[in-house]
Amino acid sequence: MTQTQASKTHTDVANFDRWTSSCFLPGAVVIDPGNSVLYATGGWRSDRPVWNEEACTNCMLCWVHCPDSSILVEDRIMTGIDYEHCKGCGICANECRFDALEMILEPDPLSEQAGAPVKGGN
Ligand code: SF4
Ligand code: SF4
pLDDT beyond 70 at 106 = yes
Q: Where are the domains of the chain?
A: 1-31, 34-122
Pocket of ligand 1, candidates 50, 53, 61, 77: which has the most ligand atoms within 8 Å of its Cβ, to mutate? 61
CA 51 from chain centre, in angstroms, equals 17
Which CATH code for domain 34-122? 3.30.70.20
> Which residues in the chain belong to E strands, given as ranges?
47-51, 71-74, 77-81, 101-105
pLDDT of residue 24: 66
Which residue, 119, 32, 45, is CA-closest to 84?
A: 45
Residues in contact with 80: Cβ distance below 8 Å, sequence separation at least 6, in sequence order: 51, 72, 120, 121, 122
Quote the CA–CA distance of 47 and 107 in Å, as a whole number.
9
**For residue 54, how far is its CA from the centre of ligand 1 (angstroms)?**
10
When pLDDT is averaged across residues 82-106 and rounded to a whole number, the result is 97
Nearest residue (by CA) to ligand 2, atom 2, is: 89
Each residue of 66-76: pLDDT tens digit? 999 999 999 99
